[in-house]
Amino acid sequence: MHSVIQRFHRLALALPLALGLAQTAGAETVARYGISMADIPLTTGQPDRGAGAYQFTGHTLYDPLVAWEANVGTRPGKLVPGLATDWKSDPKEPKKWTFNLRKGVKFHDGSSFNADAVVWNLDKVLNDKSPQFDAKQSAQVRPRIPSIASYKKVSDTAVEITTKEVDALFPYQLPWFLISSPVQWEKLGHDWGKVAFQPSGTGPFRLDKLVPRERAELVKNVAYWDTKRLAKTDRIVLLPIPDALTRANALLSGQVDLIETPPPDVLPQLQKGGFKVVTNVTPHVWPYHFSTQPGSPWTDIRVRKAANLAIDRDAIVKLLNGLATPAKGQLDPSSPWFGKPTFAIKYDLAQARALMAQAGYSKDKPLKAKVIIAQGGTGQMLSLPMNEFIQQSLAEVGIAIDFEVVELENLYLHWRSGAKADMNAGKGITAINLGYVTADPFYALTRFMDSHYIAPNGVNWGGLSDPKVDATLDQVRTTFDTKKQDALLASLHQTMVDQALMLWVVHDVNPHALSPKVKQFVQAQHWFQDLTTIGM
Amino acid sequence: MLAYLLRRLLYTLPIALGVTLLSFLLVYIAPGDPLNAIAPADAPAEVVTALKSAYGLDKPLPVQYGLWLTRAVQGDLGVSIASGRTVRSEVLSAVKNTLILAAFAALLGMVAGVVLGAIAGNHIGGAADRFASGLSVLGVSIPHYWLGLVLTIIFSVWLDWLPAMGAGPGSSAAGGNAWAWDWAHFRHLILPGVTLCVIPMGIVTRTVRALVAETLQQEFVTALWARGLGRLAVFRHVAKNALPTILAVAGLQLGYLMGGSILVETVFAWPGTGFLLNTAIFQRDIPLLQGTILVLCMFFVALNLLVDVLQPLIDPRMRRV
């Protein structure tokens, strides 16, 4: 009898435990993510709203042919196989690239991924005569894949892409180009509007629900082809909360589990409340981009160097409550393309004043310049206080700057138009302050240094035209050996820093704040983040 | 009355036309480029040119406006440049959310305003008057943005009583985001509603206070007292006299609230017209901006018309022929 009672007791104790475990095992894990955008980025295949949007509706729902390694945080990521298992350029005809495709991959709708799907997707964004052409998706990705001249299917598992010029950096363009399902588009009556609500890619998440401007719910794709990147959370709810303080309040009140870009002044409260603030090296720089046009005060290298030596970057980092790192150049020193510049970017007032004196200026007889800045906006960090800090710092060495303050959208117009344009040169504007993404060689270096990209062809805003730089860039494009390519890119960055082509201030660290419920999150050293790493 | 109504309806046409023309011109005068909503900031010139052509932005301004107007009169407000969704669906879902918020805030503001105004008007110069007037001044002067943040910090962050943002249940298992009059949804409405109600509360308090004080001075009220009517009966007469003006003020306030407060809706991430306008303005999304402003303008005109129709029903002296 005693043993019966004992057994009953054991059972009574074990049953709730077993039921509890069963419930835990079956319960859906949900991460609610407060994002800084005012709307959910485009879900049809090519996200809008910039590089930061790819982590939400880009690399979650879709895959590129060549992917960016975004699930490591301890070192810079690199290009890794995506839907293409390998790729190479033809040694005899280097403009021709062959991509061997991954076999057995299925879209979320069950259809197969193959070479036809790749060609169909390329037509979708590059061929405006194709029925599936989508101007909106095209607008997002066409500027990111400028090298493509033509493409064709070689077999069911291989495609050939020909570039306009020999371009060894071409694979860096491909993480931007995502593959969506042709079958789903057919099924939904050739209507991209409907596809937006029922998209189908091959990515680690499927879209379960989309309420414009309110939420998108992504659910784990259990059949994802890359088992190493299976999502650690069953469901991720993306909630657009554009106001930074509101995002922080939502996190503090438990309405969301993680947020991006918490406001710097809330950090102490977050940390005190047990929330974790995660940051990492991020390919971003907050610079003054100088005009090299005749008449610009920045044509004198002594002035450019003096400006770089006049800024106490540690103080700016303090102003940002630690949410930045001092810039030593266009790139972070951990970048493989940083090189070994001889000009050390640091705070050295005496040297800065000496350089200005050599150039014929002093605090009493200052050099005057006008800089166009934004009052705020994405990537601009704390624009006004930081600019005022720079203004005061430069005044200390004899550079008196005036600001032309505009809205960010308007600043883009000035940027695209180039320093020589009447809207800039005509108003005496000789420098522009705009946060730059520096994620790959094109974004970090080429577009600012190559004379072919002087406005209106690109954003070499200052109008830099240096035959030696152009020659090195040509060499980079024809060098397919990665190590040699990295060395050439490093030499370009060295030139950039040694010539002090910009005034580099700080790098963003892309902060995220996590509630204690979030057990895992790998923050990549990139704007592309991997949401599969979020574990609750 | 019918002729009056028809005449008023006809008046709405030039008003709507004027509003659309003005908003169209303002958007174009403002610096910036609608293509920023769709193309990356560093898009090369060839891409920008192709997009301008695809969206008809390369046509002369009068032609663009004419095309938009032709479609709008047929009920087609176009497609949002930024999202690619129809402006009609975008605006309708936002209007629904703003209507819920505005109606709640208006109700709170009106009730509080009428009560405070009546008390103050009845005790001019007294402590109750000073208190009510003080609250009224505070209501119209306090910055919305600041009040919203303070309320959120107190009731969401410190006390954890109410949600800090959004319009619907946070649970993904709840399914759908359609509004329902249950506690799970209603609790999201309280903080933005209270934040938004302070202005109508202040204005209605001031209006009612002045009206009650003025009416109480009139001879017919003295006559009512002289006839031995009770306090409540006299107040009923006073209220009846004040009601048409209160209604007109209330209608206007509801109209303003329907416009959606850009700041309040942004602070609370409330997906209404203010939030929508905020996005459209910063993205220079002209079709969305045009469509939203047009629909809001029509709401305002319709509310004014409704007030004009209701006023004579309450006060026969205002009856039109």
State both tokens at B247: 């209604």
Express each pLDDT in A392-442 by its tens digit: 999 999 999 999 998 887 888 899 889 999 999 999 999 999 999 998 999
Indicate left, alpha or beta for A81 from its phi (over 0: left) and psi (-120 to 50: alpha): beta
Identify the band that residue A178 occupies on the pLDDT scale cut at 50, 70 and 90. very high
pLDDT of residue B321: 52
Half-sphere exposure of A174 (CA within 13 A, CB side): 30
CB < 8 Å to A246, chain B: 152, 164-165, 266-269
> Phi, psi at residue B89, to the nearest 5°?
-70, -35
- Residue A308 pLDDT greater than 60, yes or no: yes
- Asked if B19 and B297 touch (Cβ cutoff 8 Å), the reply is yes
pLDDT of residue A22: 47
Considering only CA atoms, give the Rg of chain B.
Answer: 24
Q: A181 or B11: whose pLDDT is higher?
A: A181
* Residue A423 contacts B, CB cutoff 8 Å: no
- Residue A13 pLDDT greater than 70, yes or no: no
CB < 8 Å to A143, chain B: 39-40, 42-44, 47
Distance of CA B117 to the CA centre of its chain: 22
Q: Measured between CA atoms, how close is A365 to chain B, in angstroms?
A: 35
pLDDT of residue A4: 47
Q: How far apart are CA A322 and CA A267, in angstroms?
A: 9
Which residues 70-129 of A are in CB contact (within 8 Å) with B? 128
* Rounded mean pLDDT for each run of 10 residues along chain B, 321 residues in total: 79 82 78 70 76 81 86 85 86 89 92 92 90 91 90 92 83 53 89 93 92 90 89 86 84 78 88 88 82 84 80 72 52
Distance of CA A405 to the CA centre of its chain: 25
**Which pTM value belongs to this model?**
0.85
Express each pLDDT in A60-98 by its tens digit: 999 999 999 999 999 988 999 999 999 999 999 999 999
Minimum CA–CA partner of B158 in chain A: A253
Half-sphere exposure of A532 (CA within 13 A, CB side): 23
Which residues 29-58 of A are in CB contact (within 8 Å) with B? 30, 32, 38-39, 42, 44, 48, 50
Q: A285 or B29: whose pLDDT is higher?
A: A285
pLDDT of residue B39: 75
Express each pLDDT in A309-329 by its tens digit: 999 999 999 999 999 999 999
Q: How far apart are CA A417 and CA A459, in angstroms?
A: 8
Q: Is the omega angle on the peptide bond into residue B34 within 30 degrees of 0, that is, cis?
A: no
- Residue A20 pLDDT greater than 70, yes or no: no
A399-406/A284-290 β-pairing: unpaired
Q: What is the mean pLDDT of residues A459-486?
A: 95
Q: How far apart are CA A194 and CA A207, in angstroms?
A: 13
Identify the band that residue A7 occupies on the pLDDT scale cut at 50, 70 and 90. low
The answer to whether B42 contacts A249, with C-beta atoms less than 8 Å apart, is no
Interface ipTM: 0.80
Which segments of A351-497 are extended strands (E)?
Answer: 367-374, 399-406, 429-433, 436-437
Q: How far apart are CA B60 and CA B52, in angstroms?
A: 12
Identify the band that residue A247 occupies on the pLDDT scale cut at 50, 70 and 90. very high
Q: Which SS3 state, helix, strand or coil, does residue B61 take?
A: helix
- Asked if A163 and A148 touch (Cβ cutoff 8 Å), the reply is yes
Q: How far apart are CA A241 and CA A246, in angstroms?
A: 7
Q: Measured between CA atoms, how close is A22 to chain B, in angstroms?
A: 19
Considering only CA atoms, give the Rg of chain A.
Answer: 26
Substitution target from B57, B83, B195 for chain A, most A beta carbons within 10 A: B83
Express each pLDDT in A28-46 by its tens digit: 999 999 998 888 999 999 9
pLDDT of residue A31: 96
pLDDT of residue A10: 54
pLDDT of residue A455: 82
Q: Which SS3 state, helix, strand or coil, does residue B244 take?
A: helix
State both tokens at A63: 């895959």
- Asked if A83 and A101 touch (Cβ cutoff 8 Å), the reply is yes
Portion of chain A with pLDDT greater than 90, in percent: 80
The answer to whether B168 contacts A252, with C-beta atoms less than 8 Å apart, is no
Contacts of A453 (CB under 8 A, 6+ apart): A446, A447, A459, A460
Q: Measured between CA atoms, how close is A483 to chain B, in angstroms?
A: 29
Q: Measured between CA atoms, how close is A173 to chain B, in angstroms?
A: 14
Q: Is the omega angle on the peptide bond into residue A263 within 30 degrees of 0, that is, cis?
A: no
Number of H helices, E strands in chain A: 17, 22
> Phi, psi at residue A287, to the nearest 5°?
-120, 175
pLDDT of residue A265: 87
* One-character DSSP codes across A240-264: E--SHHHHHHHHHTTS-SEEES--G
Portion of chain A with pLDDT greater than 70, in percent: 95
Contacts of A126 (CB under 8 A, 6+ apart): A138, A142, A145, A148
State both tokens at A56: 């939400």
- Asked if B38 and B82 touch (Cβ cutoff 8 Å), the reply is yes
**Integer CA distances (angstroms), A262 to A242, B236, B303, in order:** 11, 54, 41
Which residues 182-221 of A are in CB contact (within 8 Å) with B? 192-193, 196, 209, 211-215, 217
CB < 8 Å to A410, chain B: 31-32
How high is the mean pLDDT of chain A? 92
- Asked if B94 and B272 touch (Cβ cutoff 8 Å), the reply is yes
CB < 8 Å to B168, chain A: 214
Q: Which SS3 state, helix, strand or coil, does residue A64 take?
A: strand
Q: What is the mean pLDDT of residues A496-518?
A: 96
Count Cβ atoms below 10 Å from residue B303 Cβ, excluding itself. Answer: 18
